């Protein structure tokens, strides 16, 4: 019976509405099939959603995944930036605002590269290291799957 339990986007919205009126800043829900972490940052909520169809996910790091069909081939010397979860990819914080990054921009570890909206929650996509944005592969406002390559970064020499 526990394997039949699932959350819908409406369920997550209801959970957020409940905890939004509380004093709590973070909520973690884990089952054998998924882990959902909601956290309040300033006036909005972000989420971390890890889905596993078979077993519990023991940590906040998503498991390595095989690239989906149609994924960008490996580019020598460039580091792909995969989408950590499915949703809609946005290059800027709001309509009309400048993008977080553009091709040719230098980035550091932790630089926000874009955001993914999933179930009305915004989750930042950040750089894992220092480098230069070599190529942006996904247009603003594009629906994407988890592990879709969003952009390529040319790492700085060590």
Question: In the chain, what are the domains?
Answer: 2-51 (no CATH), 79-155 (2.40.50.100)
Is residue 99 scored above 60 in pLDDT? yes
Both structure tokens of 133: 């944005």
Q: Is 51 exposed, middle or buried (0-12, 13-18, 19+ CB in 10 A)?
A: middle
Nearest to 48 by CA among 20, 27, 25, 67: 27
Count Cβ neighbours within 10 Å for each residue of 85-122 and write b for 16 or more, e otherwise.
bbbebbbeeeeeeeebbeeeeebeeebebbbbebbebb
Both structure tokens of 58: 């023991």
Both structure tokens of 3: 């394997």
Angle among Cα 28, 29, 34 to the nearest 5 degrees reads 120
For 26-64, what is each residue's pLDDT tens digit?
Answer: 777 776 666 777 777 666 666 565 555 443 333 333 434
The per-residue pLDDT for 41 is 64
Tell me, yes or no, if the pTM score tops 0.75: no
The per-residue pLDDT for 132 is 96
For 63-91, what is each residue's pLDDT tens digit?
Answer: 344 444 445 455 678 999 999 888 899 99
Nearest to 25 by CA among 13, 34, 37: 37
């Amino acid at each position: 019976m526990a394997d039949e339990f699932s959350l819908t986007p409406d369920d997550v919205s209801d959970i957020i509405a409940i905890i939004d009126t509380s004093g709590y800043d973070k909520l973690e829900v884990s089952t054998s099939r998924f882990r959902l972490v909601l956290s309040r940052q300033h006036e909005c909520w972000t989420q971390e959603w890890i889905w596993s169809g078979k077993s519990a996910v023991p940590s906040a790091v998503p498991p390595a995944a095989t690239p989906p069909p149609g994924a960008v081939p490996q580019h020598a010397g460039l580091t792909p930036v995969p989408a950590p979860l499915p949703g809609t990819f946005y290059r800027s914080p709001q309509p009309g605002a400048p993008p977080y990054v553009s091709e040719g921009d230098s980035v550091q570890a932790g630089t926000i590269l874009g955001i993914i909206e999933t179930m009305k929650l915004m989750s930042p996509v950040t750089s894992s290291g220092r480098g230069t944005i070599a190529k942006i592969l996904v247009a603003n406002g594009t629906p994407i799957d988890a592990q879709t390559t969003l952009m390529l970064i040319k790492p700085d020499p060590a």
